[in-house]
Structure formats: structure tokens, C-alpha cells
Amino acid sequence: MELEYHYFEEVDSTNTRLKEAAANGAPEGTVYCAGRQTAGRGRSGHDWESPQDESVATSLLLYPDGLSDEETALLTPLAALAVCDAIEGRYGLVTQIKWVNDVLVNEKKISGILTERVLTEDGRRAVVIGIGINVGQRTFPTALSEIATSVAIEMEGVEGRTIAWKESEGEREGQEPEGELTERREQLEGERAERREPERERAERRELTEDVWREFLRYYETFVGKRTLGFVRGKYNAKLVNRGRRCVVCDPEGAYEGEAIGIDGNGRLLIRTDEGDERAIDSGEVSVRGIYGYV
Ligand code: BTN
């Protein structure tokens, strides 16, 4: 599939815009990217922050003719794997997945995915897959600071200057006494702001975006033939942060605790309950959280 990229400096939400374009017959493979979203949307009605030139905000349009709604829902975990591959390939960071599709680095969220369905004017079923990746952010709003991270934060202290936002080697030379660190850090932030290189930063985000969609298409092309996650189940489960951990299943019919085992080929999370039963839970019906917090 050929991808056709469209870049917007500012948009309310790439998903919203691409859904509109789909309704009006935009071709499969259309990709929207934004430098900033003013009304970025996350799952469960949450907002998604995409500050100016700091993150990847991108959406892809597909017409998965022949896939059922249940099969279409499996595109989201495939997109999570694609994000993992892209981040690991570009930056060498170790990624994990929090079921069903949050991508984490060091147990903090670095990327989120929102997949939405839309019916075109002529009745064709379309899917918009929206991906947000935190790239250049150094800080997050208080409510997110404990659970969110970015490529720039995670690359601090990693050898090799591979991200546009990363301070130069010279700045990291020498050890500074603990007391002077905060002051020094503030000074560096100021210098960095003056020295920002928008062209390089944009290229960084563009290349990361292209890596993500290239990886995704590889998975997608295999998936349309197989229609289950069987071919990536081992890889997904190896990345699953919940695996082997106790968790709370927030089931509308009553929350219960258990241990997460992994996903099945339909993307359902297998839970071993304290009573010893194994249950397969669907992301559309329940959510899962760790006993001690986010993971
Ligand atoms: C989540 O984890 O809650 C999902 C976040 C998805 C954010 C992306 S950014 C690009 C696309 N446009 C949106 O408005 N949302 C998705």
C-alpha cells in the first residue's frame, strides 16, 4: 500500500480530520500528521496532549474490507507493536505494552493509540488508527508526571546523540555537585530553548512517524491473511508489562483480582483468578490496572 502523507502545523485532532476525510472518500493509505493538536483525543473520552512540535500525532486511514469488527479491533495491538519496533529501532529504548495498547518505556507511557471506525458516504467501512508518541517533552502536567515519559527524557544519559532534543556531549561532560544540579538544569533548559532546531526536530518526528507506519503495514499485510494475532502473540506477550503480575479487572459486573497470563489470538487478556479459573477478558468490556497503580 502506498502511503500519502499530509502535514498540518495545527489541527484539532488528526483522527477527527481524517474521519471527516474518510467520510468524503479519501483514499486508503492517507496519513495525517500534526505539529500540534488543539483537541487531541485519547481513549475512554480522555484528552490527549500534543504540544507544539514536541510529539508525534498521526493517523492512518484504512478500508479493511472483509475484516469483521472484532478483527478490526486487533489492528490496535498491531499498531502498538509497530510503535515498539519503531522506538526500539531508532533509539534502542526497551519498550513494553500495557494491555491493550499503551506503549511504555521504564513503566511509563510514551505512546497511546486510538482506533476509530467510520462509515463513508457510500456505506463503506473505514478505520482510522491514531497514534500519539511523546518525543521532545521534558516535563508533563502534574497529573501525568508520574505515569508519562518521552523519548527525550528516556534518552538522557544514553550514549550517542540520536535525538534532536538531546543536549550535546559537551554539556554533559564532568560531574556537578548535587546542589548545583537544579540551577544547571534550568540554565541548560534556557540554552536549549534558544538553540532549538525546528527543522531537525521536525525531521526527527517525521522519520519516526514513517518508521511506525512502515512497521505497521508489515504487520497489517500479514494480518489480513491470517485474521488472528497468533503470528505476533509470542512477541506481544514478551512485551506485556502486565504478564505474571497481579491486577484488578474492573468488570462492570464486579471487580476482581487475578494474575495476567498473556493475550490469546483474539487480543483478549487471559487472567488466572484467585479461585484458579482462567478467564479471557475483552478490552471493550473491562479495563485492567495494576494492584499498586498504573502497571
Ligand atoms: C490513548 O492512549 O488514550 C490514545 C491516545 C491517542 C492519541 C492520538 S494523537 C493522533 C490521533 N489524534 C487524536 O486526536 N488522537 C490520536
User: How does 146-164 read in b/e, with b if 16+ C-beta sit within 10 Å?
Assistant: ebbbbbbbbbeeeeeeebb
SS3 of the chain: helix, strand, coil, percent, to 5: 35, 30, 35
13: CA distance to ligand 1 center in Å?
Answer: 8
pTM passes above 0.85:
yes
275: CA distance to ligand 1 center in Å?
Answer: 37
42: CA distance to ligand 1 center in Å?
Answer: 5
pLDDT of residue 198: 81
51: CA distance to ligand 1 center in Å?
Answer: 13
d(CA 24, CA 31): 15
133: CA distance to ligand 1 center in Å?
Answer: 9
| Contact (CB, 8 A) for 236 and 229 | yes
Ligand 1 binding pocket, CB closer than 6 Å = 13-15, 37, 40-43, 46, 48, 50, 57-59, 102, 112-114, 130-132
Which ligand 1 atom is at minimum distance from the Cα of 41? 14
Tens of pLDDT along the chain (295 residues)? 999 999 999 999 999 999 999 999 999 999 999 999 999 999 989 999 999 889 999 999 999 998 999 999 999 999 999 999 999 999 999 999 999 889 999 999 999 999 999 999 899 999 999 999 999 999 999 989 899 999 999 998 676 555 666 554 444 444 445 566 667 667 766 665 555 678 888 999 999 999 999 999 999 999 999 999 999 999 999 999 999 998 888 888 888 889 999 999 999 999 999 889 999 998 766 667 775 566 6
pLDDT of residue 138: 93
pLDDT of residue 173: 44
Which ligand 1 atom is at minimum distance from the Cα of 56? 9
